[in-house]
Amino acid sequence: MIWCVVMIESLMLQSSIWIHLASILYVLGFWVRDQLNLRFFVLVGTVFYIIYYYYAAERPLWSAIIWSSVLGIVNLYVTIQLALERTTFRMNRDERLLYGAFSTMTPGEFRKLAEIAIWHEAGTRAQLTKENEPNQSLFYIVKGQVTVQKRGLRFAMAAGTFVGEVSFLLKSNATATVQADEQTRYIEWRHEDLVEIESRHQGIRIALREMLNADLAAKVADGNGGSCSCSIVNRGCQGNSLNLLGTEAVCYGPDR
């Protein structure tokens, strides 16, 4: 035991070792591209610099030790924040389940988006949008279904899809009347909140618009499959060539 203590003290006194180790870690940190790894290497290197400043001279270099400690503490705080942004640790149960549908975002980006979301559960039928009228919100259907009506068409749209994405992307009026059925659970984001968060977080803007474009593409693709159930109000469905491109929902195929 005494031998180990003597070896450690001897190693500590060889101050040049610590500055070399610290410098190597700094080089490794600046070599990697991942910011979390960079900060980790620099953090450990800072600890080695502090050890060096303590043993380099007859008396500890307190000014260098204090400022290196301050830099290390700040770096540690940011490193923890970066690590948390890459995990679902601070998400509640509903957010964890929903995150699977928002996989284009990092957990940190999704948490920021979830913070401005308004959760709803329709006790009765609730109108989300009205055709050709201003729409101020983007919706995502979590559970249940919505009923869509556009130009005489009426059909159902299941959970796992956005509502009002066209009016959000184009800054236009709603292109369809959409009502949430009873017991439908959905999320609402106000347009002004989304615009603000997109202006501050470019990653969220890119990921969200990628999701909205994919959602629109999926609706068009579903329409081409001829599997969308629809009913026609005031007119018949002619053949199987009805395809509402560029709307919040797509119906393709004969009435069932």
**All structural domains of the chain with their residue ranges:** 2-85, 99-206
Written as tens digits, the pLDDT of the chain (256 aa) is 555 544 545 555 566 788 888 889 999 989 988 888 899 999 999 999 998 888 887 888 899 999 999 999 999 999 988 888 777 777 777 788 788 888 788 888 898 998 899 999 887 888 999 999 999 999 999 999 999 988 888 888 888 899 999 999 999 999 899 999 988 999 999 999 999 999 999 989 999 999 999 888 887 776 543 334 443 333 333 333 333 333 333 343 333 3
Phi-psi sector, 236: left (phi>0), alpha (psi -120 to 50), beta: beta
Q: What are the residues whose beta carbons fall under 8 Å from the beta carbon of 209, sequence distance 6 or more?
A: 169
Long-range contacts of 108-116 (CB under 8 A, 24+ apart): 108/84, 109/85, 109/201, 109/203, 109/204, 109/207, 111/85, 112/197, 112/201, 112/204, 113/189, 113/197, 113/204, 113/208, 116/189, 116/190, 116/193, 116/194, 116/197
- The pair phi, psi for residue 192, each rounded to 5°, is -65, -35
State the pLDDT at residue 137: 94
What architecture is domain 99-206? Sandwich (2.60)
Per the document, the length of the chain is 256
State the pLDDT at residue 60: 87
State the pLDDT at residue 121: 87
Q: What is the pTM of this model?
A: 0.67
Are 175 and 104 contacting, i.e. CB atoms less than 8 angstroms apart? no
Q: What is the DSSP string of 217-236?
A: HHHHHHHHTT---EEESSS-
State the pLDDT at residue 9: 53
State which H helix or E strand residue 139 sits in: strand 137-143
In degrees to the nearest 10, what's the CA dihedral of 142, 174, 244, 154? Answer: 70
Are 209 and 154 contacting, i.e. CB atoms less than 8 angstroms apart? no
